Structure 1
């Protein structure tokens, strides 16, 4: 049994399972919305209450992992802890709680693990794939073939950060979306230029933002697991019509994701525009899956 944990800016995610003949058999998975990314104070420190919320979540996960050997566990932390000046306090306590290393990973390494996780749960294909993961405080964009990553970028924009910056009072006005999309496109442009020279035939969206948008669109009678440019613009128009997160008519979106839906949709629109996308499929794989495959490969029993 293997266990991996992704300490993200919006959620902390646990995956437990086995890899048999190259295929992942999931035994247990859990997600808790802790929203560390919304709890950095003006000095860049993670606020004490949020720090404790995160550690409490890890204590619960440690209990669930009790039967997993420490050498079969791995955890990583991403953008919020890359930014937090007091990250060492959190990381030190997290290591003690989990009984394993907690790696603070770079944006580029995060992208590598995301691509590995997405590609490992897809049928093998020689078609070049574009994978996009909009997280709470960073967005990773990757291109690869089969299980081999060819290029990746990480941009410090995300659903939590953008919701705080442009939709702080829960207002979903057209002017908020215009400002949020313009800022996201400006941030993306220098990063995506190297990617535009590479071809891709398939486009996949990984993790929470893509999943939430996919579910919202399905509630609007669009095909399950599909995000088209036209449907995305229709969703944005519906959010603007609602006017506020308290009035959202989206039963498919979990309650804890509603406060960040404006940030996520505005960044997804900016990504579609920056890369001139028409269609995206929602992927099942994500960072925690890639981390599990990497952990499996590193074990002596695998060799």
Structure 2
């Protein structure tokens, strides 16, 4: 079986295809293009038209390599630049069309977790506590953990591209610019570093760290390990060049030259802040973590299930009620979308599992509180796209439908909102009931729900709630017909 991961990084886009061999994944194909997406993010935090075009051209080429692969075998994610982009939706529409597969935007901490998983799967097994550092184009991830599990993970909004653009904008490399870049990066790291505790060995992954390792090896300064002394020699060489265009270092690839100054400044800040003297490189990174995460979803317990259960515990969710609502919602959604994928059903199930987590804040407007908690919590295994969509389902479970008007424009999301709302209504008694006979049909602009007439007569409150529900849909221009079945 082949799995594929697409990493839409702030500096480079990478595609990795892996062949599953038992519990291991062997590289089957790899493709990388330097896109410099972060450089296309303007002061207004919008991606330029040219940046979007360049990204889509690259993704279209990747589509040729992915063509024919099943959707559930491919995962594409965006990182810091896309997290920051104000015109993200505009980008995603064009990018997904070019790639031919959905693209998720993941949070900084989720990116860090996946980086750690990717690195540790390519390192020798060890029970030592490991530090992993990943310097990307617009963010740096620091993670400490043991085995394949991250114990502490943080993402910081500084990387090789944005540091170069900010502190070496005119292409000049001097002591003042280098110091400003290093101090700015160190200031980012210092706020969160106390929580990391101790570790036994340090590893680095991704472009900047791999490039630095190769330079140090090629120049004969180290055997490829990144050391304090090696970094100092590299810094002196950059200062000696004086300008980015004049940098000449053995082992430095042309596509890395433009951003090496910012990357080295950030790495020097990592060494200074964490008190490191040596770091080794790890081949795996975000894309390898994505592959193993995909494999885990297919072959073993999905991490997202564990995350949802932990959130239920944390916020004291009534699990019996959540299960009742989830079971009914699944039945209603089956009637509305009989060919829906397992992944779509999972999103609905997770929304049902967490639909009452807002009770932990207040019973008043609990659906709004719950939506906020789901959208803004760090949920391991979930992309920000997943969290936003699940949050919209939770927000739309009751009350006025205008607050989820944008989601209702999408028939797939509208179907899940309707299914969850009906499940909440039929479960209002908070106990097991004998479900009635029912039929449910929906098309754009019209919903028809049929319910056993005798059952409705015995459950007047449910009938009243369903009539109120019909009125809510009518208010947004969707005709909702409730009829009693003979």
TM-score by length of 1: 0.96
Deviates more, 1:28-37 or 1:251-260: 251-260
For structure 1, the 5+ residue unaligned runs are none
Q: Is 1:14 the counterpart of 2:15 in the alignment?
A: yes
Q: Is 1:90 the counterpart of 2:91 in the alignment?
A: yes
| Counterpart contact for 1:214–1:227, Cα < 8 Å | yes
> As a proportion of its length, which structure holds more strand?
1
| Counterpart contact for 1:119–1:146, Cα < 8 Å | yes
Q: Distance in 2 between matches of 1:153 and 1:246?
A: 33
Q: Distance in 1 between matches of 2:57 and 2:247?
A: 31
What residue in structure 2 maps to residue 39 of structure 1?
40
Q: Distance in 1 between matches of 2:133 and 2:221?
A: 20
What residue in structure 1 maps to residue 226 of structure 2?
227
Q: Distance in 1 between matches of 2:215 and 2:33?
A: 20
| Counterpart contact for 1:108–1:152, Cα < 8 Å | yes
1:101–1:134 Cα change, 3 Å: same
What residue in structure 1 maps to residue 356 of structure 2?
none
What residue in structure 2 maps to residue 278 of structure 1?
277
| Counterpart contact for 2:57–2:98, Cα < 8 Å | no
**Secondary structure of residue in 2 paired with 1:45:** coil
Deviations 1:254-298 (A, max 9, x none): 112111111000010000000000000011000000000011111
Q: Distance in 2 between matches of 1:164 and 1:155?
A: 17
What residue in structure 1 maps to residue 351 of structure 2?
none
What residue in structure 2 maps to residue 48 of structure 1?
49
Q: Distance in 1 between matches of 2:299 and 2:135?
A: 34
User: Shift in Å at residue 301 of structure 1?
Assistant: 9.3
User: Shift in Å at residue 170 of structure 1?
Assistant: 1.4
What residue in structure 2 maps to residue 153 of structure 1?
154
| Counterpart contact for 1:111–1:153, Cα < 8 Å | yes
Q: Distance in 1 between matches of 2:144 and 2:43?
A: 35
| Counterpart contact for 1:5–1:75, Cα < 8 Å | yes
Q: Distance in 2 between matches of 1:183 and 1:4?
A: 32
**Secondary structure of residue in 1 paired with 2:42:** coil
User: Shift in Å at residue 300 of structure 1?
Assistant: 5.9
Deviates more, 1:233-242 or 1:293-302: 293-302
What residue in structure 2 maps to residue 71 of structure 1?
72
What residue in structure 1 maps to residue 267 of structure 2?
268
Q: Distance in 1 between matches of 2:7 and 2:187?
A: 28
Q: Is 1:194 the counterpart of 2:195 in the alignment?
A: yes
User: Shift in Å at residue 245 of structure 1?
Assistant: 1.6
| Counterpart contact for 2:222–2:230, Cα < 8 Å | no
Deviations 1:230-262 (A, max 9, x none): 100110011101111222121311112111111
Q: Distance in 2 between matches of 1:21 and 1:279?
A: 34
User: Shift in Å at residue 19 of structure 1?
Assistant: 2.1
Deviates more, 1:93-102 or 1:207-216: 93-102
User: Shift in Å at residue 52 of structure 1?
Assistant: 0.7
| Counterpart contact for 2:119–2:285, Cα < 8 Å | yes
| Counterpart contact for 1:74–1:295, Cα < 8 Å | yes
What residue in structure 2 maps to residue 169 of structure 1?
170
Q: Distance in 2 between matches of 1:156 and 1:301?
A: 33
What residue in structure 2 maps to residue 246 of structure 1?
245
Number of residues of Structure 1 aligned to a counterpart in Structure 2? 301
| Counterpart contact for 1:296–1:302, Cα < 8 Å | no
**Secondary structure of residue in 2 paired with 1:299:** helix
User: Shift in Å at residue 69 of structure 1?
Assistant: 1.7
**Secondary structure of residue in 1 paired with 2:58:** helix
What residue in structure 2 maps to residue 115 of structure 1?
116
Q: Is 1:143 the counterpart of 2:144 in the alignment?
A: yes
**Secondary structure of residue in 2 paired with 1:223:** coil
User: Shift in Å at residue 67 of structure 1?
Assistant: 3.2
Deviates more, 1:163-172 or 1:293-302: 293-302
Deviations 1:142-172 (A, max 9, x none): 0011111110111101110010011112111
What residue in structure 2 maps to residue 3 of structure 1?
4
| Counterpart contact for 1:4–1:73, Cα < 8 Å | yes
| Counterpart contact for 1:38–1:160, Cα < 8 Å | yes
TM-score by length of 2: 0.60
| Counterpart contact for 2:219–2:251, Cα < 8 Å | no
What residue in structure 2 maps to residue 180 of structure 1?
181
Q: What RMSD in Å do the two structures reach over aligned CA positions?
A: 1.5
